[in-house]
Amino acid sequence: MVRSFQPYFPGIPIVLMAQDSVGIPTYYGRKDITRFLARVPIHAIPWKEYAIR
């Protein structure tokens, strides 16, 4: 999945996030970034949605 997004965001690290049934996030990607994101409250992250065609 990460590789499939890379052409749209060249040179930018891709981190994936999923939530479990109660909203607890899990991150996948570069370890330094995922460790950082795990310590940030999810509501404090400025999310943006992209349409890839």
- Structural domains in the chain (count): 1
Q: In this predicted model, what pLDDT tens digit does every residue of 11-53 receive, in sequence order?
A: 999 999 999 999 999 999 999 999 999 999 999 999 888 888 8
Q: For residues 25 and 19, what is the distance between their CA atoms, to the nearest angstrom?
A: 4
The parent domain of residue 14 ranges over: 2-44
Instruction: Indicate whether 32 belongs to any domain.
Output: yes
Instruction: Indicate whether 23 belongs to any domain.
Output: yes
Is the pLDDT score of 6 beyond 90? yes
Instruction: Indicate whether 6 belongs to any domain.
Output: yes
Q: What is the model's pLDDT at position 29?
A: 96
Instruction: Indicate whether 52 belongs to any domain.
Output: no
Instruction: Indicate whether 10 belongs to any domain.
Output: yes
Type of residue found at 17: M
Instruction: Indicate whether 50 belongs to any domain.
Output: no
H or E segment to which residue 31 belongs: helix 31-39
Instruction: Indicate whether 49 belongs to any domain.
Output: no
Instruction: Indicate whether 30 belongs to any domain.
Output: yes
